[in-house]
Chain A
Amino acid sequence: MTDASAEVKAPKPSAVGIFLEEVRRSSLLIPVLAIVSGLLLGGLIVGLTSKSFYEVWSTSPVQAIGNGVKAAWESYVTLFAGAFGTPSRIQAALESGDALAIRRAFNPFFESLVKSIPYMFAGLAVALGFRTGLFNIGVEGQIFLGGIFSVWVGYTFTGLPAFIHLPLAFLAGALGGALWGFIPGLLKAKTGGHEVINTIMMNYIAFRLTDWLLREPMKRPGSTNPISPIIEESAKLPRFFEDPIRFHLGFFVALAVAALVYWFLFKTKWGFDLRTVGANPRAARYAGMNIVKSTIVAMSLSGALAGMAGANELLGVNYNLSQSFSPGYGFDSIALALLGRNHPVGVVLSALLFGTLRNGAVRMQASAGIPIDIISVMQAFILAFIAAPAIVRTIYRLKEPKKAEAEIHVSGWGGS
């Protein structure tokens, strides 16, 4: 707005011009362009690797390009149909009035929401870390610890009423994640060991620990597979619909936790302290803030949020622990948190996007034969464009922003 008034002397700008100017300078533009570029480049790879492209390329390149674009377009149509459902099918189901058919028709949409829940928790974990100056790459391991703790509580205690058992199992998951965040936090605060390396190492320790637990102490009796017992009914997150819709209470828990994180970070003194330590540790120290305590608390909280992602998956969807219950939610959530500008609202929106993409990609893999891993490629592109806004600005010829963007810096890894 200030722009328009400052340029009074300039030739009268049209309303559209002002709007475009605002859009070009807005901080929302970079994330949107990053998503668009990621989808385009993902489509490019799908097109280039489609059979109709490379088999025709040597005879007729023009036709091949047409085929490639068509293949990419068709796979995105499949992806979004897989993520939201097909209108014609929904209509047919509604007309038939069959309850099961209606649930099946709406299932893709709800499944996207289900897939976005762990992303919300994990994204909040990474975002809280970044806001407090910590790069938590250990979310994946913390998710596993959360899963281990919650599943153990879920199948060990029997006969508890659900209103005790479920919160207990969920909080146990948070505790497990917090423990896995606490250790690197403590090491960072007390010895200066960089949290990036320590959390990476903690990831792999968590994986090996899971392998062992599923091979020995937590193995389901009588099973030959590395898989834990099934949790009690009283520990399951309630679902709102009958099969096949898996939409469960965790979605609203995640929204509530996001609101809580927002309130904590931006409306309380503790949150302010943590953010100050993250933004400028030196100033925080002169202001008398306890940096050691802040670092430990921040890493533990971040770990607790990640642990909730694991608890949510196992109490709401899987009901038992296996080695592959997380398809890399923790690693994806780094891109996700940065896409959401490390703000709880942004994280929730990005999580919905990532959940939608992942769910759609599952269907795309099944029906169009395109491996789901294309999602990771897209996420890598999105992350690259978000982390280096200069690249996006170069590609789309955008102007420099008015104020310097908060660059993400993690610094070298000696710590001190």
Chain B
Amino acid sequence: MSATTSTFEMGPVYVPQARRRVLGFVFLGIAAFIWFAFLRGVDPTMNTSMRLYPGGSTVVVDDWVFRTQNALWVMAAGCAAVGAFQLVRGFGRRTSLAFAMVGGMFVFAFLSWAASGGTLNLAGMLRIMVVRSVPLTLGALSGILCDRAGVVNIAIEGMMLTAAMIGTIVGSISTLWIGLLGAVLAGGLLGLVHAVMSIKYRTDQIISGTVINIFAVGITSFISGKFMQPMPQFNDPGIFVPYEIPLLGQIPFLGPVLFRHNIFVYAMIFFVVFLTFMLFKTRWGLRHRAVGEHPKAADTLGIDVFRTRYMAVILGGMMAGLAGAYFTLGSVGKFDQVMTAGRGFIALAAMIFGNWTPIGAMIAGLLFGFSDSLAASLALLRVKIPSEFLLMSPYIITMLVLAGVVGRGQMPAADGTPYEKE
């Protein structure tokens, strides 16, 4: 095995007991914060009303109106209860879930307080959250496919960007669906490049990913500046229109939030379910994961490590291509320079926060999508919190997760190490 630099066992030995306590106190602290910062200043007669249908929806339901004070009491008590349980018993493997619950309650408390005396379009916000989470979740799935087979993929950003452009060009000169196909194939092609560089030539996988990221920014801006801006006919692929799922789309509140989207949202849900099944319930998935955890053992048992890794990275690239197509074909309908704007790295963050599982990645994607959607609607609320700080939150959360503050992620053991047959 070639020399790796950072397999040092260093730093203090990790004590789960201490962490459990710390986290318990953090939860209690959040409960106290809700009481201290929100609850005390609220006029007892004030109401918060939440609109339960997005703008333009045909299914109209009454606003949900409640006393701000009561909601805050419930949320503070909920956080305190979770904190107390964490202190006494601990959530064990479900610590991340507990963290997510407390986080959710805190956000709800914040929204109730911020919208107190006014109306907040909850459904609209959640709908935007779902939409914004699509590239993050699909990008994270791309990362999962690669990482689970032991190849680090930090090129999600570059793959998405390239696919977004190719999808636009192909879609403009042919049809929308062929454009989508083109985007997926473009992602797959970059996946192949990443695979050849990191598996065949054993380039460091992070450098290989960096190559793709730099190349993608360069080539897409170059082609966009040279052809797509002067010739708008190459930059007009159209957009996938929303499709309402019969019956489900008519459910009040949930219908418009979840079931009236274009194919990208449905593709996200499908691939999360499908990949969970494939990775954890099939022989293919077992082999895939074995290659990422212990390639030598997998090789001994007759699994072709190189072939598995090639397939994983190419499939991962195609998934990133689908995520990239969302930016143009699924969202704005035209390509702009560096339009992914770092979403590929948030996808990476979602993968880590989701502990390298598809469902975890989707939850993380939704959470980060929510912070995006919240940042967009902050201006409408009466509080003045700079939206930039909300936009920072995915990055900060990821660093906390990596540091082991919020549940230690379990990455594939052989992630990032090239395999050499002996």
Interface positions of A (Cβ within 8 A of B): 45, 49, 133, 135, 137, 187-194, 196-198, 200-202, 204-205, 207-209, 211-212, 215-216, 278-282, 285, 291-292, 328, 331-332, 334-335, 338, 369-371, 373-381, 383-384, 387-388, 390-391, 407-416
Contacts and interface: CB of A to CB of B under 8 A. Distances in A.
Contacts, number: 208
Contacts of A412: 4, 152, 411-417
Given A200-B348, A209-B392, A388-B203, A410 B6 contact: yes
Interface of B: 2-12, 152, 154, 197, 201-208, 210-215, 217-227, 342, 345-346, 348-349, 352, 386, 388-389, 391-392, 395-396, 398-399, 402-404, 409, 411-417
Contact of B226 (A194, A282, A370, A378): A370
B6 A411 contact: yes
Contacts of B345: 200-201, 204
Given A190-B12, A371-B225, 15 more contacts: A135-B206, A189-B11, A191-B402, A193-B403, A371-B226, A376-B215, A384-B203, A387-B204, A388-B203, A390-B202, A391-B197, A407-B2, A407-B204, A409-B4, A409-B204
Given A338-B207, A407-B2, A197 B386 contact: no
Contact of A411 (B9, B223, B349, B416): B416
B402 A193 contact: yes
A197 B11 contact: no
A373 B396 contact: no
B395 A201 contact: yes
B416 A379 contact: no
A342 to B, nearest CB: 13
Nearest to B216: A380
Contacts of B154: 196, 200
Main secondary structure of the interface of A (DSSP, over half): helix
Contacts of B213: 331
A338 B219 CA distance: 21
B386 A187 contact: no
Contacts of A376: 214-215, 217-219, 221-222
Contacts of B416: 410-413
A281 B225 CA distance: 47
A190 B11 contact: yes
Contacts of A191: 11, 402-404
Contacts of A378: 218
A383 B217 CA distance: 14
A234 to B, nearest CB: 31
A305 B300 CA distance: 47
17 contacts: A197-B352, A198-B399, A208-B388, A215-B386, A285-B8, A331-B214, A338-B207, A374-B222, A376-B218, A381-B215, A383-B207, A387-B208, A410-B204, A410-B206, A411-B417, A412-B416, A416-B9
Contacts of A202: 395, 399
Contacts of A379: 214, 218
A275 to B, nearest CB: 12
Given A187-B403, A200-B348, A201-B349, A387 B207 contact: yes
Pick the 7 closest A-B CB pairs, nearest first: A376-B218, A412-B416, A380-B215, A193-B402, A371-B225, A373-B221, A377-B218
A192 B12 CA distance: 10
A353 to B, nearest CB: 16
A411 B152 CA distance: 9
Given A49-B227, A374-B218, A197 B348 contact: yes
Contacts of B346: 204
Nearest to B203: A388
Main secondary structure of the interface of B (DSSP, over half): helix
* Residue of B202, B402, B404, B413 with most partner-chain A CB within 10 A: B402
A373 B3 CA distance: 35
B65 to A, nearest CB: 34
B229 to A, nearest CB: 9
A373 B219 contact: yes
Contacts of A192: 10-11, 404
A281 B5 contact: yes
Given A216-B386, A412-B152, A45 B197 contact: no
Contact of A410 (B5, B214, B217): B5
B150 to A, nearest CB: 8
Given A196-B206, A413-B415, A387 B211 contact: yes
Contacts of B9: 416
Contacts of A381: 215
Contacts of A380: 211-212, 214-215, 218
A289 to B, nearest CB: 11
A335 B214 contact: yes
A205 B392 contact: yes
Contacts of B208: 384, 387-388
A201 B210 contact: no
Nearest to B221: A373
A411 B395 contact: no
B415 to A, nearest CB: 4
Contacts of B7: 281, 411, 416
A197 B402 contact: yes
A205 B396 contact: yes
Contacts of A196: 154, 206
A83 B202 CA distance: 36
Nearest to B10: A291
Nearest to A130: B5
A201 B414 CA distance: 23
B154 to A, nearest CB: 7
A205 B388 CA distance: 9
A414 B5 CA distance: 12
A375 B2 CA distance: 33
B8 A215 contact: no
A212 B221 contact: no
A338 to B, nearest CB: 7
Nearest to A183: B399
* Residue of B4, B201, B222, B345 with most partner-chain A CB within 10 A: B222
Contacts of A338: 207
A294 B417 CA distance: 24
Contacts of A285: 8, 10
A380 B402 CA distance: 29
Contacts of B349: 197, 201
B183 to A, nearest CB: 20
Contacts of B389: 208, 212
Contacts of B6: 133, 188, 194, 281, 410-411, 415
A285 B217 CA distance: 41
A378 B219 CA distance: 10
A411 B396 contact: no
Given A133-B5, A215-B386, A373 B392 contact: no
